[in-house]
């Protein structure tokens, strides 16, 4: 009965998770290039090829940097906004309703809009920064590695900070007032209050927000693909874009499969850690 009700879901997940993994493992031991001649067994050759390629390692590092930077800024800004919105100003509800709008914008659309806004010749961002005297010459944001990083992280932060804000705002609304009042009577200042009363109550919500954001950030493809295509050079190329290039532009399926397997193994280690974080801080994994 139980497995019977589960079966439609398991069939769909089999098609999209198990079957692809099995095929990837199989093809990772073969020379398989959709453009070149025939396919043959080559042992560990694909793995040694992708693991000895420095580009793949620097892309892996970029991926981790992208996730850490994005989630860090989203948590910081999200916490700040949630605390401000929680002051229950008359306009708090209206503000919250408007703050969540980026969540509804397709990542590809926001990437295109950012690209146009960041244009050094016609973009509004350089124009207003110049007009207000914040910069001298226009900045070619997407033409330099450092500023291109600002752009891809900035885009992710713009799009997903509201997500973190919402979760933390829900957490804040559950913080009871009695311990706070008691602490104020005892002469605790706002910093102590936050550190010893608000933060412990928020911990499960911070854990949920960070874990869900980290998982999604590791999967980011469309927004970076549209905004920088991994450029300039390969400076903003995360592993997802690397895999796309190897598999769907070079058609080197064997190498892409080997790199994909390594990525999956890495992600399953990360996922175990993240689920551990959820398990220690929340009860959402309880049976």
- The CB-of-76 to another protein minimum distance in angstroms stands at 12
Which residues, numbered 176-205, are part of the site for another protein (CB under 8 A)? 205
- The CB-of-140 to another protein minimum distance in angstroms stands at 16
Mapping DSSP onto H, E and C, the string for 203-269 reads HHHHHHHHHHHHHHHHCCCHHHHHHCCCCCCCCCCCHHHHHHHHHHCCCEHHHHHHHHHHHHHHHHH
CB-wise, 26 or 195, nearer to another protein? 26
Backbone angles phi, psi at 247, to 5 degrees: -80, -45
283 binds another protein (CB under 8 A): no
Which residues, numbered 35-74, are part of the site for another protein (CB under 8 A)? none
15 binds another protein (CB under 8 A): yes
265 binds another protein (CB under 8 A): no
Euclidean distance between CA atoms 151 and 142, whole angstroms: 7
In the list 50, 67, 79, 81, the residue contacting another protein (rule: CB under 8 A) is 81
User: What number of chain residues touch another protein (CB under 8 A)?
Assistant: 90
Report yes or no: 142 and 148 within 8 Å, Cβ to Cβ: yes
**DSSP state at residue 142:** G
- Taken as a whole, the chain contains a residue count of 287
Which residues, numbered 86-125, are part of the site for another protein (CB under 8 A)? 87, 89, 95, 97-110, 112-117, 122, 124
215 binds another protein (CB under 8 A): yes
Tally the C-alpha atoms within 13 A of residue 110's C-alpha that lie toward its C-beta. Answer: 20
Q: Contact region for another protein (CB under 8 A) — 35-43, 52-60, 139-147, 160-168? A: 160-168
- The CB-of-219 to another protein minimum distance in angstroms stands at 5
């Amino acid at each position: 009965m139980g497995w019977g009700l589960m079966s439609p879901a398991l069939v769909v997940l089999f098609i999209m998770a198990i079957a692809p993994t099995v095929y990837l493992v199989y093809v990772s031991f073969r020379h398989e290039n959709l453009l070149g001649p025939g396919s043959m067994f080559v042992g560990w050759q694909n793995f040694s090829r992708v693991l000895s390629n420095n580009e793949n390692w620097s892309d892996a590092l970029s991926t981790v940097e992208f996730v850490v930077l994005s989630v860090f800024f989203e948590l910081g800004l999200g916490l700040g906004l949630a605390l401000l919105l929680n002051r229950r100003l008359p306009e708090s509800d209206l503000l919250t309703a408007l703050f969540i709008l980026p969540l509804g914008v397709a990542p590809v659309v926001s990437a295109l809009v950012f690209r146009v806004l960041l244009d050094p010749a016609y973009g509004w961002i350089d124009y207003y920064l110049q007009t207000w005297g914040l910069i001298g010459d226009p900045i070619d944001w997407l033409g330099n590695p450092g500023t291109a990083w600002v752009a891809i992280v900035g885009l992710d932060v713009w799009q997903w900070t509201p997500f973190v804000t919402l979760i933390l705002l829900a957490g804040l609304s559950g913080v009871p007032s009695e311990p706070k009042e008691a602490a104020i009577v005892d002469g605790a200042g706002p910093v102590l209050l936050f550190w010893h009363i608000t933060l412990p109550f928020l911990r499960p919500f911070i854990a949920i927000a960070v874990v869900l954001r980290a998982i999604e950030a590791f999967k980011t493809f469309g927004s970076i693909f549209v905004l920088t295509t991994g450029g300039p050079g390969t400076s903003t190329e995360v592993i997802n874009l690397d895999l796309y290039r190897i598999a769907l532009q070079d058609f080197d399926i064997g190498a892409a499969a080997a790199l994909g397997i390594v990525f999956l193994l890495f992600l399953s280690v990360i996922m175990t850690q993240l689920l551990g974080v959820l398990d220690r801080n929340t009860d959402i994994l309880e049976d």
